[in-house]
Chain A
Amino acid sequence: MGSLELTQGVVNAILLSGTLALVAIGFSIVWGILNIINIAHGAFIMLGAYVTYWLFTLFGIDPFLSIPLSMITLFIVGYVIQRYLINLVIRAPLLVTFLLTFALEIVIINLATFFWKGDLRSVTPAYSGAGFTIGAVQIPYVRLGAFAISLLLTGLLHVFLTYTKTGNAIRATGMDIDAARLQGVKIAQSYALTFALGSALAGAAGSLISISFPIDPTMGGAYTLRAFLICVLGGLGSIPGVMLGALLYAFIEVFSGIYAPGLKDAIALFVLVFVLIVRPTGIAGKAFYH
Chain B
Amino acid sequence: MKKSGELQNSPQAASKKVARQKVLLGLVGAFVVLLAVLPLFASGFWMRTLTLLFLLAAMAEGWNFIGGYTGYAAFGNVAFFGIGAYGTALSMLRLHFPFFLALLVGAAAAMLFAVLVGLPVLRLKGHYFAIATVALATGVGEVADFWTDFTGGAAGLTLPFFHPIQLSNYFFYYIAFVLVLFGLGLTYFIMKRKLGYSWLAIREDEDAAKMMGINTTWSKVVAFALSALMAGLAGGIYAYWNTFVLAEEVFKIEYTLQMILATVLGGPGTVFGPFIGAFIYYILITLLVFFLPVGQLHATILGLIIILVMVFTPQGVMDFLSGRKRLTLSALLENIRTHKV
A residues with a Cβ closer than 8 A to B are 31, 35, 37, 85, 87-100, 102-107, 109-111, 113-114, 187-188, 191, 225, 228-229, 232, 262-263, 265-266, 269-270, 272-273, 276-277, 280
B251 to chain A, nearest CB (A): 11
The residues of A that contact B143 with a CB separation of less than 8 Å are 263, 266
Contact between chains at B339 and A90 (CB < 8 Å): yes
From the candidates B120, B132, B300, name the one contacting A110 in the complex (CB within 8 A): B300
Residue in B138, B304, B340 whose beta carbon sits within 8 Å of that of A269 in the complex:
B138
Report yes or no: B120 in contact with A270, Cβ–Cβ below 8 A: no
> Taking the complex as formed, is B336 at the interface, i.e. its CB lies under 8 A from any CB of chain A?
yes
Shortest CB-to-CB span from B143 to chain A, Å, is: 6
Q: Are the CB atoms of B303 and A110 closer together than 8 Å?
A: yes
| Given A95-B314, A96-B310, A263-B146; 11 other pairs, CB 8 A cutoff | A37-B130, A88-B311, A91-B338, A91-B341, A95-B67, A103-B304, A232-B131, A262-B142, A265-B139, A270-B135, A280-B123
Query: Is the CB–CB distance between A98 and B73 below 8 Å?
Result: yes
B145 within 8 Å of A (CB atoms)? yes
Cβ contacts under 8 Å, B335 to chain A: 89, 92
Q: Which residues of A contact B341 (CB under 8 A)?
A: 87, 90-91, 187-188, 191
Check B260–A95 contact: CB distance below 8 A: yes
Question: Which B295-341 residues have a C-beta within 8 angstroms of A?
Answer: 295-297, 299-300, 302-304, 306-307, 310-311, 314, 335-336, 338-341
Contact A113 to B303, CB < 8 A, known contacts A96-B310, A273-B132:
no
| Residues from chain A with Cβ under 8 Å of B314 in the complex | 89, 92-93, 95-96
**Cα of A105 to Cα of B306 in the assembled complex, Å:** 11
Interface residues in B1-36 by Cβ distance below 8 A to A read: 1-2
CB neighbours (8 Å) of A228 from chain B are: 131, 134-135
For B128, list chain A residues within 8 Å (CB): 232, 276, 280
Query: Judging by beta carbons under 8 Å apart, are B295 and A99 in contact?
Result: no
CB <8 Å contact, A95 and B1: yes
4 tightest A-B CB contacts, nearest first:
A103-B306, A107-B303, A269-B139, A110-B299
Determine how close the nearest CB of chain B comes to the CB of A204; give it in whole angstroms.
24
Query: Which residue of the partner chain, among A35, A107, A270, contacts B299 with CB atoms under 8 Å?
Result: A107
Closest to B305 in A: A103
Q: Which of B239-296 contact A (CB under 8 A)?
A: 257, 260-261, 264, 268, 295-296
User: Chain B, 115-143, contact with A by CB distance < 8 Å: what is the 0/1 string?
Assistant: 00000110111111011101110110011
CA of A92 to CA of B149 in the docked complex: distance in angstroms?
46
**Chain B residues within 8 Å of A87, by CB:** 340-341
Q: Which residues of chain B are within 8 angstroms of A277 by Cβ–Cβ distance?
A: 120-121, 123-124, 132
| Interface contact B121-A273, CB-CB below 8 Å | yes
Count of A-B contacts with CB under 8 A?
152
Known: A91-B340, A96-B310. A262 touches B145 (CB 8 A): yes
A-chain residues with CB within 8 Å of residue B146 when the two chains form the complex: 262-263, 266
B123 to chain A: closest CB distance in Å?
7
Chain B nearest Cβ from A194, distance in angstroms: 12
Q: Which residues of A contact B302 (CB under 8 A)?
A: 103, 106
Q: Specify the main secondary structure of chain B where it touches its partner.
A: helix
A111 pairs with B121, CB closer than 8 A: no
Report yes or no: A88 in contact with B303, Cβ–Cβ below 8 A.
no
Separation of A272 and B311 alpha carbons in the complex (Å): 32
Query: When chains A and B are docked, how far (Å) is the Cα of A93 from the Cα of B307?
Result: 15
Contact with A along B143-163 (1 / 0, CB 8 A): 101100000000000000000
Chain B: how many interface residues by the 8 Å CB criterion?
A: 48
| Dominant SS among interface residues on chain A | helix
Contact A99 B264 (CB under 8 A): yes
Q: Which residues does chain B contribute within 8 Å of A37, judged by CB atoms?
A: 127, 130-131
CB A215 to nearest CB in B, in angstroms, measures: 19
Query: Is B131 in contact with A102, judged by CB distance below 8 angstroms?
Result: no
Is the CB–CB distance between A89 and B296 below 8 Å? no
Chain B's closest residue to A97 (CB) is B310
A-B contact pairs, 29 of them (CB 8 A): A37-B130, A88-B336, A90-B340, A90-B341, A91-B339, A92-B338, A94-B126, A95-B314, A96-B264, A96-B310, A97-B310, A99-B306, A100-B311, A103-B310, A104-B307, A110-B297, A111-B300, A188-B341, A225-B134, A228-B134, A232-B131, A262-B146, A266-B138, A266-B146, A270-B135, A276-B132, A277-B132, A280-B124, A280-B128
Residues of chain A within 8 A (CB-CB) of B131 are: 37, 228, 232, 272, 276
What B residues does A91 contact at CB under 8 A? 338-341
List A contacts of B264 (CB < 8 A): 95-96, 99
Contacting residues of chain B (93-135) with chain A, CB-CB under 8 angstroms: 120-121, 123-128, 130-132, 134-135
In the complex the two chains form, what is the Cα distance from A110 to B288 in whole Å?
15
Cβ distance A79 to chain B, nearest Cβ, rounded Å: 14
Q: How far is the CA of A37 from the CA of B130 in the complex (A)?
A: 10
Would you call A106 and B136 a contact (CB within 8 A)?
A: no
A87 to B139 Cα, complex, angstroms: 33
Q: Please measure, in the bound complex, the distance between the C-alpha atom of A173 and the C-alpha atom of B302, giving whole angstroms.
A: 33
Identify the closest chain A residue to B140 (Cβ).
A266
Considering the chains assembled together, what is the distance between the CA atoms of A94 and B264 in angstroms?
12
Contacts of B336 in A (CB 8 A): 88-89
The answer to whether A263 touches B311, judged by C-beta atoms less than 8 angstroms apart, is no
A113 touches B296 (CB 8 A): yes
Q: Which residues of B are found within 8 Å of A276, using beta-carbon distances? A: 121, 124, 128, 131-132
Chain B residues with CB below 8 A from A272, complex form: 131-132, 135
- A99 proximity list for chain B (CB < 8 A): 257, 260-261, 264, 306, 310
- Tell whether, in the assembled complex, residue B295 and residue A114 are in contact, meaning their CB atoms are under 8 Å apart: yes
Cα distance A228–B76 in the bound complex, in angstroms: 14
